[in-house]
Structure 1
């Protein structure tokens, strides 16, 4: 999903840079409503996890591989505005330290993975959460669908950008078919990873999942041992 330098012309890259900068500015204000002394460390851990998992690729056939985007997962864990910031930090570090995506394409990658993927993934999650039971199963189902949809949505957004400012001599139909088909398969992996991670967190600390704030751990506290009558005190 990382767009390298030179795939889009300068005006398109500048335009996506402006969109990305505007989204980050809005997210900085919105994140104040999501972060506190308890959730701020979780945001850092989530960004570190997404960074690490994005470095791991899984095969999807025909010599193509994919990796987790993490937009929907991050949004459900720490909130959509904080997710935009987490994803932007991840993409910035990857571009600067690992040349993954390129600096001139940073605005494009932030637009696709920190804005489109988060918006579509969390939007689908919220819509499904409104109709599904407010249980862990309902949360996982909504998050899985949101994660799945976020990947082809980001891919099709790139197709739109390529149609406007692509510099490679490739027919737009070929780009759309390739991006759409491959990223539908990658979306399945995205959904599976998202559900697995959320299931693990919900099993122990559902109160830390921003998108599942209505859930609370139902584990009763173990009773304190009592001293038998007449026994030592």
Structure 2
């Protein structure tokens, strides 16, 4: 999914750069509220390191594109959507500058796709699932997994749209869309499995460190009912 330099034209790259900068600016004050508990600070570093590792594993999916796991839903559920966006942004910046993974001129595009789109889509799918299901730990895992699954092909579809608007490579837009969305739907299955396993493991040991767990609680006659095992 990392977009290389020159794959999108300058106006499109500038536009996504503005979107990325605006998203980061909006996330900064929200992240302070999400990380109000100092005990959760180490979790932010762990999440960023984990996502960095899984994103470094790339494989070709055809039509000049590549795919990898993204981690947007995972980050959002574990540390909060705003903090998750900042984690992903830092990871993408380090990858671009130190490992040439994703172009420097396409950094805004990559943050928009891998950071903003996957986090926003993954988070709201998660919220919808836990709002419907009973307040149980398995519901949190199911919501995180579904959020991870949906977020990946959605990000791929947004990239295909950007390519249709401002692509500079002589590859048919239809081929890019089919390759990206088709393969990233398969990748989404892997994303869902890995997200479910990690969230389940953290819930089993330190459920208090899972940011999304608070949204799986139901108020009852003036009393806040916690997540039931």
TM-score normalized with structure 2 length: 0.89
Pairwise CA distance, 1:52: 1.2
Partner of 2:163: 162
Residues 52-131 of structure 1 mapped to structure 2, 5 A cutoff: 52-57=53-58, 66-131=67-132
CA contact (8 A) 1:206 1:217 kept: no
Partner of 1:29: 29
Number of residue pairs aligned between Structure 1 and Structure 2: 216
Residues 153-232 of structure 1 mapped to structure 2, 5 A cutoff: 153-213=154-214, 214=217, 215=226
Residues 140-159 of structure 1 mapped to structure 2, 5 A cutoff: 140-159=141-160
For the aligned residue pairs, the C-alpha RMSD in angstroms reads 1.8
CA contact (8 A) 1:205 1:217 kept: no
Unmatched segments (≥5 aa) in structure 1: 219-233
CA contact (8 A) 1:20 1:111 kept: yes
CA contact (8 A) 1:60 1:186 kept: no
TM-score normalized with structure 1 length: 0.88
The structure-2 alpha-carbon separation of the partners of 1:100 and 1:65, relative to structure 1 and needing over 3 Å to count, comes to closer
Runs of 4+ residues over 6 Å off in structure 1: 58-61
Tell me, in whole angstroms, the C-alpha distance in 2 between the residues paired with 1:117 and 1:38: 26
Tell me, in whole angstroms, the C-alpha distance in 2 between the residues paired with 1:60 and 1:11: 26
Tell me, in whole angstroms, the C-alpha distance in 2 between the residues paired with 1:192 and 1:27: 27
CA contact (8 A) 2:9 2:166 kept: yes
CA contact (8 A) 2:78 2:211 kept: yes
Tell me, in whole angstroms, the C-alpha distance in 1 between the residues paired with 2:44 and 2:59: 25
The structure-2 alpha-carbon separation of the partners of 1:158 and 1:65, relative to structure 1 and needing over 3 Å to count, comes to closer
* Pair member with larger Rg: 1
Tell me, in whole angstroms, the C-alpha distance in 1 between the residues paired with 2:120 and 2:212: 14
Q: Tell me which protein shows more helix as a share of its residues.
A: 2
